[in-house]
Amino acid sequence: MKKENLLNRITVNPEVMVGKPTIRGLRITVEQILKALAGGVTAGELLEDYPELEKEDIQAAILYASELVNEEQVFAVR
């Protein structure tokens, strides 16, 4: 799936989950997905736990986070 199509799966709505980035407007945040993956939960387990999720949603969450990190500017502190 193209990068743009994946990123279209991430939505931000001030009325859903206090404006945090969510997956397709569901009440599942990018943060939840990333924390679960970082904690050792597999993509397969996430898909079992959240039947409304699709494999591409997990890919989109990872891509979204990587795009944010890519935009970040780091300044040396001396």
Domain ranges within the chain, ordered by starting residue? 3-71
Question: What's the pLDDT score for residue 34?
Answer: 98
pLDDT-derived band of residue 1, with 50, 70 and 90 as boundaries? confident
- Higher model confidence: residue 77 or residue 44? 44
Write the single-letter amino acid at 20. K
Burial of 75 (0-12, 13-18, 19+ CB in 10 A): exposed
pLDDT digits (tens, 9 = 90+) for 46-74: 999 999 999 999 999 999 999 988 876 76
Percent of the chain surpassing pLDDT 70: 96
CB proximity list for 59: less than 8 A, separation 6 or greater:
1, 6
Q: Mean per-residue pLDDT for 36-51? A: 98
Assigned CATH class of 3-71: mainly alpha
